Amino acid sequence: MDFLENSVDSTGKRGSVEVITGSMFSGKTEELIRRLRRAQFAGLKVEIFKPSLDTRFSETRVVSHDDKSIVSTPVDNASAILLLTGDVSVVGIDEAQFFDNSIVDVCSRLADTGIRVIVAGLDMDFMGKPFGPMPALLAIAEFITKVHAICMRCGNLAQYSFRKSEEEQIVVLGEKDKYEPLCRTCYNQLIRNNLNNDEK
Ligand code: ZN
């Protein structure tokens, strides 16, 4: 299954930034892990980081929903990635939306030194607004892959992460108990219904 991956320089000496983005349950982490595994198969040294606040499943692994995981290092902020990156060819970063904007500069600097940087993150928050540093990351990336979930109401491609719970803050960690992938039509319908209910 090669169609999601761009032809990157496999000699590992030319750095680049790749971003894998989409809604929740769209397979971002699975695609990140797949690319990192392939780099490992090619004999390249790989390192993976994720923000320490995302500890939904495990402290030290990037875990995807299908349970394929790769050991990762949780970091408190983006600059820690620069400090902790050793002599590697490929750096993976998961849940990039939770970092502040300095992650953009960090990715650029890693790529400038010849590292292939593969970043996965949510493109939009639960309100459908661009999430944190993701727009800027998409702007500086050489390659962008947008993956989709399946709408749980109609079966079309979903791009929204609809929050089923009442919490209002942007960052609420959760899985299918809290979020539901929806297409544009179903998302808009639900938002409209909720607004109507609030008015009653
Ligand atoms: Zn739908």
pLDDT value at 91 more than 50: yes
pLDDT of residue 149: 97
Cα-flanking dihedrals φ and ψ of residue 74, to 5°?
A: -75, 135
Residue 147, amino acid: V
Q: What superfamily does domain 5-147 belong to in CATH?
A: P-loop containing nucleotide triphosphate hydrolases (3.40.50.300)
What's the rounded Cα separation, in Å, for the pair 13 and 144?
Answer: 20
State the Cα torsion 159-163-168-170 to the nearest 10°: -40
Q: Which of 18, 31, 47, 95 is catalytic?
A: 95
pLDDT value at 1 more than 50: no
Ligand 1 center from residue 154 Cα (angstroms): 4
Residue 27 Cα distances to 24, 66, 94, 102, angstroms: 8, 9, 12, 25
Ligand 1 center from residue 111 Cα (angstroms): 38
Greater confidence, 13 or 191?
191
SS3 helix, strand, coil % of the chain, rounded to 5? 30, 25, 45
Ligand 1 center from residue 24 Cα (angstroms): 15
- In tens, the pLDDT along 71-81 reads 789 999 999 99
Domain edges within the chain: 5-147
pTM flag (> 0.85): yes
- In tens, the pLDDT along 57-70 reads 555 666 666 655 67
pLDDT value at 12 more than 60: no
Ligand 1 center from residue 1 Cα (angstroms): 27
How do 116-122 and 90-93 pair as beta strands? Answer: parallel
Q: For the chain, what is the total number of helices (H) and then of strands (E)? A: 5, 12
At 194, the pLDDT band (50, 70, 90 cuts) reads confident
95 annotated active-site: yes
- In tens, the pLDDT along 139-176 reads 999 999 999 999 999 999 999 999 988 888 888 888 88
* Residue 61 token pair: 């692994």
Ligand 1 center from residue 197 Cα (angstroms): 20
